[in-house]
Amino acid sequence: MQEVKAKLSFLRMGPRKVRLVADLMRGRKVSTAIDRLSLMNKKAARYLLKLLKSAVANAKNNFQLEVDNLRVKSITVDGGPVLKRWMPKAHGRATPIRERTSHINLVLIEEKVEAKKVKTKKVEAKKVKTKK
């Protein structure tokens, strides 16, 4: 089975916000994940959709894999560097602001497509009674 990887680094969004959306696509087929992300009303969905399409393009062009057979094997959202800022407050004070970033790793895997077995029903010959 072939694995395809894609990575998004230094996304200017907190990892907790991205994980909310990433959890919904873990283990799903690619077509289902794309449908869910395109209809979702979260800012992180836009970035994850772009990353997923990039991984699908990698699979298609670099490994000649069939898009219908791909599934999201794993997606991890890790914290990146934190940008530290200061916000002025009352009475000459300042409070820290921590602008978090995220690193996202996406792994797609190819599912094996097995040929469907056709069940054949045995038709028993029915005895036809004739009238004499």
Q: What pLDDT score was predicted for residue 2?
A: 84
pTM of the predicted structure, to 2 decimals? 0.80
Task: Name the pLDDT band for 94 (thresholds 50, 70, 90).
Answer: very high
Sorted by where each starts, the structural domains of the chain and their CATH numbers stand as: 3-110 (3.90.470.10)
Give buried/exposed letters for 9-37 (b at 16+ CB in 10 A, else e).
Answer: eebebbbebbbebbebbeeebbeebbebb
Tell me the pLDDT of the chain averaged across its residues: 90
Q: What pLDDT score was predicted for residue 122?
A: 60
Q: What pLDDT score was predicted for residue 121?
A: 61
Helix ranges, the chain (H): 15-22, 30-39, 43-62
Q: What pLDDT score was predicted for residue 1?
A: 78
pLDDT digits (tens, 9 = 90+) for 38-91: 999 999 999 999 999 999 999 999 999 999 999 999 999 999 999 999 999 999
The answer to whether residues 75 and 109 touch, using CB atoms and an 8 Å cutoff, is: no
Looking at residue 29, the DSSP 8-state letter turns out to be: B
132 pLDDT higher than 70: no
113 pLDDT higher than 90: no
Q: Which residue has the higher pLDDT, 123 or 5?
A: 5
Q: Which residue has the higher pLDDT, 119 or 107?
A: 107
Task: Tell whether the torsion through CA atoms of 76, 47, 29 and 62 is positive or negative.
Answer: negative
